[in-house]
Amino acid sequence: FGFRTYYEHISVPLIITPVSRPPSTKGIHDSMSVGASILDELALDSHESFKGIPIFAPGRSMIVTENCGRGNADIKRRDIYFTVTSVTHKAMFQLHGTSLQAKRLYSLEHDPRELNNIIKDPANQNVIADMESYLLKERGVLLTQRALTRVEDPSK
């Protein structure tokens, strides 16, 4: 599978809400927001590891999705592919061994079909750095378990 992040993994197409609780229009919500919204509406607590945010609350500035490819999810030994999506960009990173590498960057505003990888354009280094920082913050526990030692410069 590698770098496969489909639109429907990130965008929530439809959630029916009570009239008295309109959804937030701030931030980004992902597919985990469906479950989080149901739990919230039923006043049920979720496990502390659950990262879903109900659509009634402001969403995140970015969404992180990951996969280890086909087969089992052997996060200790297999490469892990991360996609970090904001309103304006989508960045793809690969954790290979203990090295995190930025591999792809797309402008969702200018290239919504993600046809032009702009990762080597020096003008985008701040965007990559911001998305990388968000990934490190959101998946820090996982990356620490893998003994992340270095982040490789995508311009090389």
pLDDT at position 20, please?
A: 84
Sequence-separated (6 or more) residues with CB below 8 Å from residue 104 = 3, 90, 91, 92, 117, 119
How far apart, in whole angstroms, are the C-alpha atoms of residue 59 and residue 23?
Answer: 10
Work out the mean pLDDT of the chain and round it to a whole number: 84
Return the half-sphere exposure (C-beta side, CA atoms, 13 A cut-off) of residue 74: 8
Statement: residue 9 has pLDDT above 50: yes
Structure tokens at 148: 């992340």
DSSP 43-56: T----TT-----TT
Statement: residue 29 has pLDDT above 60: yes
pLDDT at position 5, please?
A: 60
Q: How confident is the model at residue 72 (pLDDT cuts 50, 70, 90)?
A: low
Lowest mean per-residue pLDDT among 4-8, 69-73, 79-83, 130-134:
4-8
Q: How confident is the model at residue 21 (pLDDT cuts 50, 70, 90)?
A: confident
Q: How confident is the model at residue 113 (pLDDT cuts 50, 70, 90)?
A: confident
Confirm whether pTM is higher than 0.85.
Answer: no
**Mean pLDDT value across residues 80-88:** 92
Statement: residue 2 has pLDDT above 70: no
Statement: residue 1 has pLDDT above 50: no
